[in-house]
Amino acid sequence: MDVYLQKLKDELRLRHYSPRTIQSYCVCVSEYLRAKRNNLDSVDVDFVKKYLLSMVDKGLSSSTTNQALQAINFFYHNVLQYDRDIAIRFAKTPQKLPIVLSRDEIHAILKCLDNTKHRLMVSLAYGAGLRVSEVVSLRIRDVNILELTIHIKGAKGNKDRITILPEKLGSEISQIIGRKDADDLLFASERGGTLTTRTAQKIFDNALKKSGIKKNATFHSLRHSFATHLLENGVDVRYVQELLGHANIRTTQMYTKVTNPMLKNIRSPL
């Protein structure tokens, strides 16, 4: 099994999959192979179905079973060189609306951040529509104060994109940039290394709790709020798609369900 997992890791690395995806695929395939126990080099579609059904019986989500199927598919086709289609469809995933914070709620959260670096980090995540991983990995060279742009490099799916830098934050960021080299992190940890995503999320969680806001929001809600507020301001959905770096416009269009002004103007008959 170890040999197969190493081959799987090598194939994923050759295709430049992200470290997180490589880890997830290896975990999924190792759990599958442990369940299979023997004849690891044979493809048994019926067993794959039973394995996925056992995941459903355990109450695991459709996204978890889909990821397992995706990893198993990759393993069979790219490691075992199985050349036939595995006729198992992906599970239907629930369509959930994103949790969006209002402008007033964003300001309330920012007021609860006494640390200047923390407040600037959360402000930039909202004002530029950044993922938490993008915020903590931002470097000085990625920020263009004159053009008010941020160059996000190697984001989700290993894609680059350009997003906007809020003019409001220009002077504060200029002060940070002036004291650092181009290769330095914009938001380094106190020891000078990379701030962990968990630390950034904890900073947001503490401010959310302190603000008294009861929504089940996360750091990623800042990105949802960025997209929603741009659409409310009349920005074309295609430009929002580019700023967020979505490959498919349908992913961006989910925010139109949150921002539909016609629905909000309807009064209940009660």
Q: Same domain, yes or no, for 190 and 225?
A: yes
Phi and psi torsions of 56, nearest 5°: -65, -45
223 is catalytic: yes
Selecting among 51, 76, 126, 223, the annotated active-site residue is 223
- Among 29, 63, 78, identify where a domain stops: 78
250 is catalytic: no
246 is catalytic: yes
Q: Same domain, yes or no, for 132 and 236?
A: yes
User: Which of the two residues, 60 and 191, has the higher pLDDT score?
Assistant: 60
pLDDT given for residue 136 in this prediction: 94
Say what the pTM is. Answer: 0.78
Q: Same domain, yes or no, for 20 and 115?
A: no
Please say if the pLDDT value at position 120 is more than 90. yes
Q: Same domain, yes or no, for 72 and 132?
A: no
Q: Same domain, yes or no, for 241 and 114?
A: yes
Q: Same domain, yes or no, for 69 and 189?
A: no
Do the beta carbons of residue 137 and residue 151 sit within 8 Å?
no
76 is catalytic: no
3-state secondary structure of 144: strand
Q: Same domain, yes or no, for 52 and 138?
A: no
Q: Is 43 a domain residue?
A: yes
Q: Give the relative orientation of helices 19-36 and 62-78 as an angle to the nearest 10 degrees.
A: 80
For residue range 52-62, list pLDDT tens digits in order.
999 999 999 89
Q: Is 195 a domain residue?
A: yes
198 is catalytic: no
Q: Is 157 a domain residue?
A: yes
When divided into structural domains, the chain yields a total of: 2
Mean pLDDT of 73-98: 85
Average pLDDT over the chain, rounded to whole? 90
Query: Any idea how long the chain is?
Result: 270
Dist. CA 184–CA 140, nearest whole Å? 6
Q: Is 83 a domain residue?
A: no
Dist. CA 40–CA 31, nearest whole Å? 12
Q: Is 90 a domain residue?
A: no
Q: Is 66 a domain residue?
A: yes
pLDDT given for residue 20 in this prediction: 85
Selecting among 117, 141, 151, 156, the annotated active-site residue is 156
Please say if the pLDDT value at position 262 is more than 70. no
Q: Same domain, yes or no, for 65 and 125?
A: no
Indicate the pLDDT class of residue 159, thresholds 50, 70 and 90.
confident
Q: Is 85 a domain residue?
A: no
CATH of the domain at 130: 1.10.443.10
Q: Same domain, yes or no, for 162 and 234?
A: yes
Residue 158 sits in which domain range? 103-264
CATH of the domain at 68: 1.10.150.130
DSSP string for 75-136: HHHHTS---S----PPPPPP-PPPP---HHHHHHHHHT--SHHHHHHHHHHHHHT--HHHHH
Q: Same domain, yes or no, for 120 and 232?
A: yes
Selecting among 118, 119, 131, 229, the annotated active-site residue is 131
Q: Is 94 a domain residue?
A: no
255 is catalytic: yes
Which of 13-27, 113-127, 128-142 has the least mean pLDDT?
A: 13-27
Q: Same domain, yes or no, for 224 and 120?
A: yes
Q: Same domain, yes or no, for 109 and 192?
A: yes
